[in-house]
Amino acid sequence: MARHLITSAIPYINGIKHLGNLVGSQLPADLYARYLRARGHEVMFLCATDEHGTPAELAAAKAGKPVAEYCAEMHAVQSEIAQGFRLSFDHFGRSSSPQNHRLTQHLAGRLAEAGLIREVSEKQMYSHADKRFLPDRYIEGTCPNCGYDKARGDQCENCTKQLDPTDLIDPRSAISGSTDLEVRETKHLYLRQSDMRGKLQDWIDSKTDWPVLTTSIAKKWLNDGDGLQDRGITRDLDWGIPVRKGDQDWPGMEGKVFYVWFDAPIEYIACAGEWAEANGKTDADWERWWRTEKGAGDVRYTQFMGKDNVPFHTLSFPATILGSGEDWKLVDYIKSFNYLNYDGGQFSTSQGRGVFMDQALEILPADYWRWWLLSHAPESSDSEFTWENFQSSVNKDLADVLGNFASRVTKFCRSKFNEEVPAAGTPGAREDQLIADLEKGLREYEAHMDAIEVRKSAAALRALWVLGNEYLQDVAPWTTFKADTDTAAMQIRIALNLIRFYAVLSSPFIPDASAQLLTAMHSEDADWPSDVASAITALPAGHAFTVPDVTFRKISDDERADWQSRFAGVRT
Ligand SMILES: [Zn+2]
C-alpha cells in the first residue's frame, strides 16, 4: 500500500464551470483517486475554490452582494455540483480560509527572510470614482497603434499590440467608465524568481517521466527571451489575504493584499489543514501528507491541470516552496491537459458558450458525462465535443455494450432458471480462453491507469466489456439451453459473475452504474480482482441477485437535436 496525495487545479469562484474545465482537471483527478483507492492505496484528494482577485470582486458587485458573502454562496453551489458529478474529494476547501491566510503570510515571511523578495515602486492608474487602483485590464481606451476604441490596458485585442495603460488615448475605468484617473506611485513586492532559475531548472530536469506537454511549457517559460522573470505578488485591492510577514506587519504594505496567483496554489496545502479541522483531526494528521520531515517522505504527489496552468505549477509555486527553505512536499508528477472544444468552436465561460456543469446534470446523470469526457480526454491534442459523438458513444459503449449485457444475462437467468446463480455445468476450453483474454486485458487496463493514460484506460475498460459480449455471442446460452441446459447454466453463471467483475473495474469511470450493478448482484465485494479466474467465480451457485433497472438508456435522435439547438447559442 502506497500513499498518494492528489490535487486538482482549483476552479475560480465566479460562476459555474463548463465541461471543458471539468475534464481538464477535476474529473481525471477523481478517476485516478478512485482507482488508487480501489487498488487499496491510501489517498488524500484535495480541491478548493480560488476566491481572491478582481474578477471575484466584480462578480460580487454585479450580483449586488458583499464579496465574502458571494464567495460563500458560490462555494456552496460549486460544492453541490461537484457532488453531482461524484467528485470524491476528501475535502473541497476555500482559498479564503483562515488556514490559507496564515500559511500564505507565513511563506511570504520565509521568502523575505531568505532574501527572495524585493520591493518595487510602480506607477499605476488610480480611479477616483471607483476609489481604487485599476489592474491593467480594467482600463480601456483608444489604441495608439490602430485606433480601436475598446483597447485594454494590457493589450489591444484588435491589433494584438501589447500595451501599457499609460499608452492609451482617453483612458477610462472599465468598471465605472469614469475618466477621472490619475497615475499614482505604489509599492509592490516581487518574488525573485530569476534568482531561483538554476534550482528550478535542476528540479525540472530531474523529472524525466513527466509528460512532454508539461515539461515543454515549463522549459519555455524558464528559457525563452530573458528567461524567468521576477513576479509581483501583491496588489492594491481590498479582497484578498492582507500582506503580512508571518504574524508581523509588513511596513509600507498596509492596505495591500497578496496577488491571487501567489495564494491560490498555497491553498493545496492549506486545504489539508481545513480537512483536518473539518474532520476533528490534528495538525500531525495533515502534516504527514505535506511535511517531508513529518511523514510525507513516502507520499507520491500528483497534480492535475489544464495546460494554461502549467507555468504556475512548474515554476511559481515550486519557487515559493523551494524558496521557503522548509520541508514541504514538492509535486512528483504533473498531468496536464489540452483543451476540449465545443461543437466547432471553443467553450467559453465569459461568452456562456457550451454546456455548463449544472446544465449537463439537468439533462443526464453524471455517469453519461463522465464516460464521454474521460474516454475523449484531450491528452495528446485538443479534442472536440459534438452531440453526434456524445450520442453515439453513450448508445454504443454504455447502453449496448455494458448495459445490455447486464440486462440480457439477468433477465435470461430469471426466466429460464431463477433469480439466483445456477449451479450446473462445467467450464471448458472456451471459458479458459475467455479467462486468458480477460487476464491480459485487465493487466493492460491497470497499466494504463497506473500511467494516468486516461483515453487508453477507457479503451482498455471497454475492451474488457466487449470480451464478455463476444463470449455471450459465441456460446449463445439461449440456443444452448434448448439442447443442453447444464452447459447453458454454466455459461450464465460465468456471465453473471462478469457483471460483478465489470462493476468493480468500472467504478473509477462510472461510479453510480457500478454501485447499481453491485447492488443488483447482491454483492458487497468491491475488491479489485487479483486474478480473473477467482473473480469470475466469486458469486457462488445459489447466490441471489435482482434484475437491475435500465443501467444506461439510449439517447434518441430527437433528444440529440433538441439539445443541439438548446445549447447552440449563449447561456443567458
Ligand atoms: Zn490596436
Look at residue 554 and tell me whether its pLDDT is greater than 80.
yes
- Centre of ligand 1 to C-alpha 148, Å, is 5
- Centre of ligand 1 to C-alpha 165, Å, is 13
- Centre of ligand 1 to C-alpha 181, Å, is 21
Q: Identify the pLDDT of residue 380.
A: 87
Look at residue 58 and tell me whether its pLDDT is greater than 90.
no
- Centre of ligand 1 to C-alpha 155, Å, is 8
- Centre of ligand 1 to C-alpha 166, Å, is 14
Q: Identify the pLDDT of residue 570.
A: 67
Q: Identify the pLDDT of residue 336.
A: 93
Q: Identify the pLDDT of residue 54.
A: 85
Burial class (CB in 10 A: 0-12, 13-18, 19+), 208: exposed
Q: Identify the pLDDT of residue 1.
A: 84
Look at residue 572 and tell me whether its pLDDT is greater than 60.
no
- Render pLDDT for 72-90 as a digit per residue (tens, 0 to 9): 999 999 999 999 999 999 9
Distance CA 394, CA 105 (A): 48
Q: Which residues have a beta carbon within 5 Å of ligand 1, which is an ion?
A: 143, 145-146, 148, 156, 158-159
Alpha-helix residue ranges (DSSP H) falling in 305-428: 310-311, 317-324, 357-363, 366-375, 387-393, 404-416
pLDDT band at 224 (very low <50, low <70, confident <90, very high): confident
pLDDT band at 229 (very low <50, low <70, confident <90, very high): confident
- Render pLDDT for 12-37 as a digit per residue (tens, 0 to 9): 999 899 999 999 999 999 999 999 99
Residue 188: count of CB within 10 angstroms of its CB:
19
- Centre of ligand 1 to C-alpha 170, Å, is 14
pLDDT band at 162 (very low <50, low <70, confident <90, very high): confident
Q: Identify the pLDDT of residue 225.
A: 79
Rounded to the nearest integer, the mean pLDDT of the chain is: 94
Share of the chain above pLDDT 70, in %: 99
Q: What is the mean pLDDT of residues 521-527?
A: 92
- Render pLDDT for 246-267 as a digit per residue (tens, 0 to 9): 999 999 999 999 999 999 999 9
Look at residue 166 and tell me whether its pLDDT is greater than 90.
no
- Centre of ligand 1 to C-alpha 172, Å, is 16
pLDDT band at 237 (very low <50, low <70, confident <90, very high): confident
Look at residue 155 and tell me whether its pLDDT is greater than 90.
no
- Centre of ligand 1 to C-alpha 163, Å, is 9
Q: What is the mean pLDDT of residues 57-73?
A: 94
- Centre of ligand 1 to C-alpha 150, Å, is 9
Distance CA 289, CA 291 (A): 6
Q: What is the mean pLDDT of residues 295-311?
A: 94
Look at residue 537 and tell me whether its pLDDT is greater than 80.
yes
- Centre of ligand 1 to C-alpha 183, Å, is 22
Q: Identify the pLDDT of residue 137.
A: 80
Q: What is the mean pLDDT of residues 436-457?
A: 98
Instruction: Give bridge partners of residue 47 from the DSSP assignment.
Output: 92
- Render pLDDT for 476-503 as a digit per residue (tens, 0 to 9): 999 999 999 999 999 999 999 999 999 9
Given a contact cutoff of 8 angstroms between Cβ atoms, the answer to whether 548 and 516 are in contact is yes
- Weakest-pLDDT range from 323-327, 449-453, 524-528: 524-528
Q: Grid cell 454546456 — which residue?
A: 355
**Cβ-Cβ contacts under 8 Å for 523 (sequence gap 6 or more):** 500, 503, 538, 539
Q: Identify the pLDDT of residue 571.
A: 62
Q: What is the mean pLDDT of residues 373-393?
A: 95
Q: What is the mean pLDDT of residues 309-323?
A: 92
Look at residue 354 and tell me whether its pLDDT is greater than 80.
yes
- Render pLDDT for 190-216 as a digit per residue (tens, 0 to 9): 999 999 999 999 999 999 999 888 898
Ramachandran angles phi, psi of 270, nearest 5°: -60, -35
